[in-house]
Structure 1
Amino acid sequence: MTNDDQNAHASGAPWRNFYGRLKGKALKPSQKRYLEEDLAALSPGPVGWEENPDRTPLDLETRFGARPVWLEIGFGGGEHLVHQAAENPHVAIIGAEPFINGVAMLLGKIRRAGVANLAVHPGDARDLFDVLPDASISRAFLLYPDPWPKKRHHRRRFVTPEHLGPLARVMAPGAILRVATDIPDYVRQTLEEVPRHGFEWLAKRPADWREPWEDWQSTRYEKKALREGRVPHYLTFRRT
């Protein structure tokens, strides 16, 4: 029995450490209203799926029809997520973000943009991995993840076996994974770890990681990095 099994929730879901922030400054009244009025309807699964003791896979076809399904892991304030949804109405996009202030910001952007092909999980992406069917995701985004710069905290980064193994399981053969970061050591770890989990790096020339993707929407985290003189890297992988 693993440590996670011993510390499972009553629902049967595994218990996991979470190291990031779940809430920041007080929400605006409008943001509280968005959470109360909009969030439940945007769930990627039926009511109560998070507490499903059997961890039955989500029925993505019932939820989204025949659309390809994309996943953004940690969407921050939602700028990129809403942009991709608006530019790609033929796909369905699930966003996972445990920071509730970011979720509230996203809901406001969804209202203003009027996009209807989004689902929102206000929690850890690992919980989604538990219930996403095998090979169900055709594109995934990991954009400016928490760098955890101290060496003793590197095991908390997303680009570790704990996260990459489940991610590889839910991504279809040929699916694309995009990673953006401004932290050189995160680039190093990404290039070491991601290929070990069934992905190939698609770069052929320096411009392939120095220049953003053609459909890129800059985020607040990237703009902060540029203001502070850090250089973004844009890494593209394909599930083998």
Structure 2
Amino acid sequence: MTTNSPRTALVTGANKGIGRAIASRLGEQGLCVYLGARDESRGRQTERELRADGLDARFVQLDVTDESSVARAAKHIEADAGRLDSLVNNAGIGGPVGPPSRTAVGEVRRTYETNVFGVIAVINAMLPLLRRSAAARIVNVSSLLGSLTHAAAQEDPSGVFPAGAFPAVLDYNTSKAALNALTVTYANELRAEGILVNSVSPGFVATDINGHRGHLTPEQGARLPALLATCCDDGPTASFFGEDGSPAGQPLAW
């Protein structure tokens, strides 16, 4: 790949919801976007639809809970593009909502496999490709619910939940808190190399994970992740932002 080749991005969980919207936004900015998806038929369909919109979208089979699948995806992108400029770890799940004391350990483990261990697997596999970029970016799609500070105070700065009503969801919240810890840990390792790593809460977006009860559209939720995936060299790292409609987003406490 030559230096004037299009920038490249990988978005995990890109066949629907926020992931698809992020991929679309990045494609509209001229990036070649790899659509990471477990299901080939859905991934191919998304590829066709985005290509019909004139975007350079390329499906790559990727199950973040399967390290062999992650390794194959990295080899595919390397052979096809030679490098990776932006990685957006969007794939995420959550179990049924219930009191922490009634949440099965197996449910927590299942959520962590995608939301935490899957992110580690993808970052580690893609880092050799990101290190070939002149301005690599990693964005972890997190959630306000992963903020220990706001959870302890039982206050939601976005105003979705009233004071004292901060949801206590064991598997999802703690997995996003762990994801935020990953963000800081990788950011500290990679900052000397100019690789910026940030977490973003896209807001209360209507998606499958919340039964489409959110008040924001996937397109609105995609704005900040796409912004951080393409930010300038003097952009933030080891930071956590939430969607509040402001140009750079709302800084959130860890």
TM-score (norm 1): 0.51
Q: CA RMSD in A?
A: 4.1
Q: Does 1:83 align with 2:35?
A: no
Distance 1:112 1:163 in 2: 28
Distance apart, 1:158 and its partner CA: 4.7
Match of 1:137, as an amino acid? L
Match of 1:166, as an amino acid? A
Distance apart, 1:144 and its partner CA: 4.7
Alignment of 1:197-236 (within 5 A): 197=186, 198-199=189-190, 209=200, 220-221=207-208, 224=212, 226=214
Select 2:83's aligned residue among 132, 136, 144.
136
Alignment partner, residue 180 of structure 1: 141
Percent identity over the alignment? 7
Given that 2:141 and 2:202 are in contact with CA atoms closer than 8 Å, whether structure 1 keeps it comes out as no
Alignment partner, residue 96 of structure 1: 36
Distance 2:237 2:126 in 1: 12
Distance 1:211 1:97, change over 3 A: closer
Distance 2:59 2:54 in 1: 15
Distance 1:80 1:148 in 2: 23
Distance apart, 1:151 and its partner CA: 2.2
Distance 1:130 1:70, change over 3 A: same
> Matched residue of 1:192: which SS?
helix
Alignment partner, residue 167 of structure 1: 126
Alignment partner, residue 153 of structure 1: 110
Answer 1 or 2: which has greater helix percent. 2
Given that 1:175 and 1:238 are in contact with CA atoms closer than 8 Å, whether structure 2 keeps it comes out as no
Given that 1:148 and 1:156 are in contact with CA atoms closer than 8 Å, whether structure 2 keeps it comes out as no
Number of paired residues? Answer: 163
> Matched residue of 1:177: which SS?
strand
Match of 2:59, as an amino acid? V
Given that 1:164 and 1:194 are in contact with CA atoms closer than 8 Å, whether structure 2 keeps it comes out as no
Distance 2:13 2:173 in 1: 20
Alignment of 1:53-92 (within 5 A): 61=1, 66-77=5-16, 78-85=20-27, 87-89=28-30, 91-92=31-32
Alignment of 1:11-30 (within 5 A): none
Distance 2:237 2:15 in 1: 24
Distance apart, 1:66 and its partner CA: 1.5
Q: Does 1:120 align with 2:59?
A: yes
Distance 1:128 1:158, change over 3 A: farther
Distance apart, 1:106 and its partner CA: 0.7
What are the ranges of 5 or more consecutive residues in structure 1 without an aligned counterpart?
Answer: 1-60, 213-217
Match of 2:123, as an amino acid? L
Given that 2:9 and 2:34 are in contact with CA atoms closer than 8 Å, whether structure 1 keeps it comes out as yes
Match of 1:88, as an amino acid? Q
Distance 2:124 2:45 in 1: 30
Distance 1:135 1:94 in 2: 13
> Matched residue of 1:157: which SS?
helix
Distance apart, 1:187 and its partner CA: 2.0
Distance apart, 1:110 and its partner CA: 2.2
Distance 1:155 1:191 in 2: 13
Distance 1:142 1:219, change over 3 A: farther
Match of 1:184, as an amino acid? N
Match of 2:29, as an amino acid? N
Given that 1:96 and 1:121 are in contact with CA atoms closer than 8 Å, whether structure 2 keeps it comes out as yes
